[in-house]
Amino acid sequence: MTAMAPTRTEPDLSYLLDHTSHVLRTQMAAALAEIGLTARMHCVLVHALEEERTQIQLAEIGDMDKTTMVVTVDALEKAGLAERRPSSQDRRARIIAVTEEGTRVARKSQEIVDRVHREALAALPEADREVFLRILNHLATGQLARVDQGQTARRARQHQR
């Protein structure tokens, strides 16, 4: 005997957001890999160029744990795109400084990121794009801005088909 599945009364928002986010991240990773960067490397370069920021500040902006941040900055240093330096405001703190080559690569990676986003939004009718972004931004800065403490969820493993 087959059990009766419960009747869905709302659209599966979790699936819609998770699936589209996964596909967009995958497309972004492939596009940035063409210039030897990861999305995390791009994030660190761009935000380190905005102003003097410590590794901890950049990790918070990029939603990275300490280990991931260290590995990311190590890769940027190895590639000659960034370096750790003492802060000009607090000699005890270390900032991530972007090199000239890192600045050039960050400009190129931002062009790639913008292109991937533009291509994703092109799937929507032009009149809907601004509305979609406004509503998504409203969710991201409102109801879905933060996870309450104690409510952490790990992403389920995806099965290969």
pLDDT, one tens digit per residue, over 19-37 is 999 999 999 999 999 999 9
Q: Band of the pLDDT at 158, cuts 50, 70, 90?
A: very low
Q: In Å, what is the CA distance from 57 to each residue of 1, 53, 73, 112?
A: 56, 6, 13, 24
pLDDT-derived band at 3 (thresholds 50, 70, 90) equals confident
d(CA 72, CA 65): 11
Q: Point out which residues pair with 95 in neighbouring strands.
A: 54, 85
72 burial level (CB within 10 Å; 0-12, 13-18, 19+): buried
Residue 81 predicted with pLDDT over 90: yes
CATH 1.10.10.10 is held by the domain 25-141 = yes
What percent of the chain has pLDDT above 90?
Answer: 78
Domain ranges of the chain: 25-141
Q: What's the token pair of residue 76?
A: 């940027």
pTM (two decimals): 0.84
Using pLDDT thresholds of 50, 70 and 90, give the confidence band for residue 153. low
Residue 157 confidence (pLDDT) above 60: no
